[in-house]
Amino acid sequence: MKNLSRFLSAFIVAFTLLSAAGCASTQKHEGTGEYVDDSVITTKVKAMLFDEPNLRSGQINVETFKGVVQLSGFVGSQADINKAVEIARGVKGVESVKNDMRLK
């Protein structure tokens, strides 16, 4: 009976560890918590770009993966690119900003 109890305990521990590992992130797949965090970052960056009166935020796409914000789209000037990157860098949780914006 004692061996059965140890076996069940070991099985439960192993199952718990495997379950937790299944929720962990990989280089190309986010865990649930990271996805939520990235969604929040994306939303904050979009809101701040929208609040900037000199930017046409509807033409700037924002995507976030593991804290890295990617900005893409077409803007009217280099100053617009610089401002958008500056805004994105100022959002809490942003690790870095990848600029893929292009001038019209």
The enclosing domain of 86 has a CATH number of 3.30.1340.30
Within a domain: 9 = no
What pLDDT is stored for residue 5 in this prediction?
A: 61
What pLDDT is stored for residue 104 in this prediction?
A: 86
- Counted domains in the chain: 1
What pLDDT is stored for residue 54 in this prediction?
A: 86
- Whether 28 shows a pLDDT value over 90: the answer reads no
Alpha carbon of residue 92 to chain centroid: 12
Does the pTM of the predicted model rise above 0.75? no
Print the domain residue range for 57: 31-103
- The predicted-structure confidence for 63-104, as pLDDT tens digits, reads as follows 999 999 999 999 999 999 999 999 999 999 999 999 999 998
| Contacts of residue 92, Cβ cutoff 8 Å, sequence gap at least 6 | 44
- Whether 11 shows a pLDDT value over 80: the answer reads no
